[in-house]
A and B are shown apart, each in its own frame.
Chain A
Amino acid sequence: MRSTIARLLIKRIFSSLIILFLIITFLFFLVRISPGDPVQKFVNPTLSPKLAEQVRESLNLDKPIHMQYIGFLTSAISGDLGVSYNFRRDVSSVILEYLPFTLLFTSVSFIFQMIVSFWLSIKSVKKINGLFDRALSNITLLIYATPVFVTGVFLVFIFSELLNIFPSSGLSSYDSADFSFWARLTDYIYHLILPIITLSLIEIAIFYKYLRDNLEDVYNKLFVLNLRASGVSEKDILLKHVIPNAINPLITIAGIELGIMLGGTLIVEVVFGLPGMGRLIIEAIFTRDYPLVIGCSLVVSFLIIFSNFLADIIKAFLDKRLLTGSLN
């Protein structure tokens, strides 16, 4: 048993690595064949062409494309993703500066989404087709149809412009450097409430729909009737029997959505002007910072693959029958 698990894990990791390799290869050539020259940003046309050649050489752009690719791969294997053209620093150090925010932001909103959608679906499944249930299913349909940036802009208008409760953009107040630690922490939280709600609303709608339908399905099964007839309390039925049976499909969805969110905070970061991976990538793309584009894409793809993988593993440990199926 243990050896089959190990074999399946290795197989899975290997295929993930192949996908990562394909992605960076694809992006490498896509970026290199695109029109536009990153050297021009640094070199004034009035300066000598020799200087341009020097810059080109310093950016490793003077070699033929396949040589560049081989050089890139060999250094990437040793963990060196090159030097960012804009930041003039190692790509990995730039990414490490921006990644913690995205990870924190995504995981906090993920936990928030899970709690809210669980609470809502349990509440609405208590009285199926009741007022709460029907109202919520219509609201989730509405939220599902609303693009994230529209939600964001509307929320900013309502809460920042009209009610003036939350700040409309940025991560901290302009004078936050003078604050004490706790004041700075509350300042951060204060600034992050609207972005987290914006990012979470659509995911809550998705999770809610899946969870509610699953819970309803399980509640209609005969074993629940049997438990009720045996006099098990409703709370025990819900906690010990219904939720464990309903949670499995949710974990797959959660893994996929977590991956999408890790990359998809882009729009929220742009709406609220937050310093995260999404904005870093956009900036890198617009300024033709080739190493940074590829490095960021690699990290984001890795996070997505990893979260799917994690979801599969959690699911397999909850339900041993799935072990061979889901890892394969």
Chain B
Amino acid sequence: MKNRFKIWQFLLLIWIITLLIRFELLINTYDLIFSWLILLISDLDTALSQISFDLLDSMIAGILFIVIPLLSIIYRKKLGFLYGKVFPAAIFLILLITCFLFAPLISNKNPDFYKNIGITKLLPPLSSVQVLHFKNDQNFQPSESFEKFLFLKDKVVKKSFDESIQYLDSISTGGKIIYYQNGIGKEANRESLLLRVKDPFITKQMFILGSDQFGRDVLTRLIYGARISLMVGFGSVIISLIIGLTFGFLAGYGGGLPDAVFSRFTDMLLSFPIIFLVVLILALFGNSLLSVIVVLGFSSWMSLFKVVKTEVLSIKEKNYFVSSKLLGLSKKQLLFNEVLPVIIVPIIVNVIFQFGNVIIAESALSYLGLGLGNNYPSWGSMIQSGQEYLSLAWWMIFSPGITLIFTLLSANSFGISLSRKLNPRLQND
């Protein structure tokens, strides 16, 4: 039973579950995209001025939610891995990538959402809090297209505040409605509340992985933190791939002076603890998402350089390479047509391990307070703030810590299994 479970079935399962849970949100998102497109045609300036990161994020997630399944159905013949068997590392990586792409769809809160800190702070996992809902203009019927767009945007894009709810400890609904927060009773006007028949409308909200010191949901922050880790991972790996490949090819192919220069430079970087260099650059030149990616990319190409250089040195002597060089191929053609196909396996394996290293480095930087600041949740900074509340809230370190370990474990085991699969010599053993 377990062995027959294929990757495409798992993906379909995630898709259906998301569809069922977030059906209303998805419909609103598509409505939003549609009304934005109408606005774009009728009033270009207003449409462009409304664009923000969160809006684009929600709209892109909504589009990808339809486009990716369609594309993978169309190109299913080419995507061989979809028919592979499911294994734990793949499950975890797929979940991470889903979080990366569809974070606004999966989570139902803004990662920075907080309200009534006194009640919601440092809640243990699986605890739930009562929520009292106030009336807002939910029943407002927009007439103009712009009003409709704003109305939908309000619904789809999650904000870090919400005036229409109150978290509460207990409530008494006799003649007057009085809700208690931290022992202080407040009277609520019956007209201002959402009512279910006669009683006030009270729901329960569960904090599945608990909440942090500001009453923010840990699970939501974990989901959004996956984005930072993966983004930094992909970005820096691409940069280090480009640098390592170019330098390695130039040093191996050129020999002599270029080899000496590049090798000395690599030795210099290797004989200095890279983390200090990264900290130095980030502390002196400021830290943002882009600078973290660039600095980590520039400081992790050395092992790739060594791999490429040694491989190129051995390829250089081969007959096919010499003959294609004599045919007059340019350096670029030599690299992409003659060298890359041969060394692609060690490069891919190296890149996957590099990916894990970069994620470790990013989380360590966030832990030291040099990540992306407090603008965006990241696993490392979550652990850092959790360390202060160690005696009160173990979940604040364990949920991001275990997620981090699982991510790195699955990246490692994915790399190992890939290198076994791609390496013909190991396959025969």
A residues touching B (Cβ–Cβ < 8 Å)? Answer: 18-19, 22-23, 26-27, 30-31, 34-36, 141-142, 144-150, 153-154, 156-157, 160-161, 168, 259-260, 263-264, 266-267, 270-271, 281-282, 285-286, 288, 293, 297, 300-301, 304-305, 308
**Contact between A18 and B364, CB atoms less than 8 A apart:** no
Residues of chain B within 8 A (CB-CB) of A308 are 271
13 new A-B contacts at CB < 8 Å, known A31-B284, A157-B397, A270-B367: A35-B285, A36-B284, A141-B412, A142-B405, A145-B409, A145-B411, A149-B363, A150-B405, A153-B387, A263-B275, A264-B275, A266-B276, A285-B283
A147-B363 CB under 8 A given contacts A141-B412, A157-B390, A270-B368? yes
Contact (Cβ within 8 A) B271 A266: no
Q: Are B273 and A304 closer than 8 Å at their CB atoms?
A: yes
* Pairwise interchain contact B281-A30, C-beta atoms closer than 8 A: yes
User: Which among A34, A145, A150 has the greatest number of chain B C-beta atoms within 10 A?
Assistant: A150
Q: Which 5 A-B pairs have the closest CB atoms?
A: A263-B273, A34-B284, A145-B408, A145-B409, A150-B401
Is there a chain A Cβ closer than 8 Å to B210's Cβ? no
B409 and A22 contact, CB distance less than 8 A: no
User: Cβ of B237: which chain A residues have Cβ within 8 Å of it?
Assistant: none
| Closest Cβ–Cβ distance, residue B150 to chain A (whole Å) | 40
Q: Do residues A285 and B284 form an inter-chain contact, with CB atoms below 8 A?
A: yes
Residues of B that sit less than 8 Å from A by CB? 264, 267-268, 271-273, 275-276, 279-281, 283-286, 356, 360, 363-364, 367-368, 380, 383, 386-387, 390-391, 394, 397-398, 401, 404-405, 408-409, 411-413
Residues of B within 8 A of A149 (CB): 363-364, 367, 380, 383
Given A142-B405, A144-B412; A300-B273 close (CB under 8 Å): yes
The residues of A that contact B267 with a CB separation of less than 8 Å are 19
Contact partners of A285 in chain B: CB under 8 A:
276, 279-280, 283-284
Chain B residues within an 8 Å CB radius of A267: 275, 364, 367-368
Contact of A153 (CB < 8 Å), options: B268, B271, B383, B411: B383
Question: Distance (Å) between the CB of B408 and the closest chain A CB?
Answer: 4
- Contact (A147, B364) CB under 8 Å given A142-B405, A286-B283: yes
Q: Which residue of A lies closest to B407 (CB)?
A: A145
Query: How many Å lie between the Cα of A168 and that of B391 in the bound state?
Result: 11
Closest to A285 in B: B283
In the complex, A297→B272 CA distance in Å? 8
**A88 → chain B closest CB, angstroms:** 22
In angstroms, Cα B283 to Cα A161, docked, is 33
- The answer to whether A281 touches B401, judged by C-beta atoms less than 8 angstroms apart, is no
B380 to chain A: which residues have CB within 8 Å? 149
Contact A153 B386 (CB under 8 A): yes
- Contact status B409-A305, CB under 8 Å: no
In angstroms, Cα B404 to Cα A30, docked, is: 32
Residues in chain B near residue A160, CB distance under 8 A: 390
Shortest Cβ distance from A158 into B: residue: B394
Bound complex: CA A260 to CA B272 (Å): 8
Q: Taking each of B363, B367, B409, which has the highest tally of chain A beta carbons within 10 Å of its own beta carbon?
A: B367
A interface secondary structure, majority: helix
**Please, which residue of chain B has its CB at the minimum distance from the CB of A286?**
B283
Residues of B within 8 A of A30 (CB): 280-281, 284
When chains A and B are docked, how far (Å) is the Cα of A263 from the Cα of B275?
A: 9
Chain B residues with CB under 8 A of A147: 360, 363-364, 404-405, 408
Contact of A19 among B268, B281, B364, B368 (CB under 8 A): B268
A34 to B386, CA, bound (A): 32
Q: Roughly how many angstroms separate A153 CA and B279 CA in the complex, as a whole number?
A: 21
- The reply to whether B268 and A297 form a contact with Cβ atoms under 8 Å apart is no
Whether the pair A23, B284 counts as a contact (CB closer than 8 A) is no
Which residues of B sit under 8 angstroms from A286, Cβ to Cβ?
A: 283
Cβ–Cβ contact A19 & B271, under 8 A:
yes
Residue on B nearest A147 in the bound complex, by CB: B360
How many Å from the CB of A91 to the closest CB on chain B? 16
Name B276's contact: one of A150, A161, A281 (CB within 8 Å).
A281
- What residue of chain B has the Cβ atom nearest to residue A296's Cβ? B276
- Chain A residues with CB under 8 A of B286: 35
- Which single member of B276, B285, B390, B409 contacts A141 (CB below 8 Å)? B409
CB nearest neighbor in A for B405 = A146
Cα A160 to Cα B387 in complex, Å, equals 12
Residues of B within 8 A of A281 (CB): 276, 279
Partner of B271, one of A144, A288, A304: A304
A293 to B281, CA, bound (A): 12
Q: How far is the CB of A110 from chain B (nearest CB, A)?
A: 16
23 pairs across A/B with beta carbons < 8 Å?
A: A23-B268, A26-B268, A30-B284, A34-B284, A141-B412, A144-B412, A145-B411, A145-B412, A147-B364, A150-B363, A154-B397, A156-B390, A267-B368, A281-B276, A282-B279, A285-B276, A285-B280, A285-B284, A288-B284, A301-B271, A304-B272, A305-B271, A308-B271
B285's closest neighbor in chain A, by CB? A34
Known contacts: A18-B264, A153-B387. The answer to whether A23 contacts B356 by CB under 8 A is no
Specify which chain A residues have a CB less than 8 angstroms from the CB of B408 in the assembled complex: 145-147
Q: How many Å from the CB of A141 to the closest CB on chain B?
A: 7
Bound Cα distance A286, B285 (Å): 11
Question: Are B397 and A153 in contact (CB-based, < 8 A)?
Answer: yes
A149 vs B275: C-alpha distance in the bound complex, in angstroms?
13
The answer to whether B401 touches A153 (Cβ under 8 A) is yes
- CB closest chain-A residue, reference B363: A147
Say how far A254's CB is from chain B's closest CB, in angstroms. 16
Complex Cα distance, B270 from A260, in Å, reads 9
Task: Give the shortest distance, in Å, between B96 (CB) and chain A (any CB).
Answer: 14
Known: A141-B409, A145-B412, A267-B364. A35 touches B284 (CB 8 A): yes
Q: How far is the CA of A93 from the CA of B293 in the complex (A)?
A: 36
Nearest residue (CB) in A for B359 is: A147
- List the A side residues contacting B279 at CB < 8 Å: 281-282, 285
Residues in B neighbouring A288, C-beta threshold 8 A: 284
Given A27-B280, A142-B409, residue A161 in contact with residue B272 (CB < 8 A): no
CB atoms of A259 and B284 under 8 A apart = no
Q: A residues within 8 A CB of B411? A: 145
Least CB distance from A199 to B in Å reads 14
Candidate in A30, A147, A286 with the most chain B CB atoms within 10 angstroms: A147
Of B276, B283, B412, which is within 8 A of A297 by CB?
Answer: B276
| Beta-carbon contact of A266 and B283 below 8 Å | no
- Complex CA–CA separation, A19 to B269 (angstroms): 9
